[in-house]
Amino acid sequence: MTCHELVEFLIEYAQGTLDPAVLGAFEHHLNVCPDCRFYLKSYEFTIRIGRASVLGEFDELRTELPEDLVWAVVASRPVAV
């Protein structure tokens, strides 16, 4: 699996609906690719931010996070999906 393919499967992985036949390759790639590990983390973090802002818990979330991490997430977001 390539980094590009991993990104395409990311949403299904995060939702727990990824095809078991693909899951092995996905997790193997994560094990060997720090870039994708970081990308996955930032993706999950972005979902958390979205959820927190909807629930009005954003201030709470923001105080528990270092600001440089927030900016790293913003910077790593794909331009087009």
Q: Choose which of 13, 26, 36, 40 interacts with Zn ion (CB under 5 A).
A: 36
For 10, 27, 39, 62, the CA distances from 34, given in Å and listed in that order, are 15, 12, 8, 25
- Near Zn ion by CB under 5 A, which window of 29-37, 49-57, 58-66, 69-77? 29-37
The Cα–Cα gap between 13 and 15 comes to 5
Is residue 3 a contact residue for Zn ion (CB under 5 A)? yes
Is residue 33 a contact residue for Zn ion (CB under 5 A)? yes
What's the alpha-carbon Rg for the chain, to the nearest Å? 14
Is residue 25 a contact residue for Zn ion (CB under 5 A)? no
Contacts with Zn ion by CB under 5 A lie at 3, 33, 36
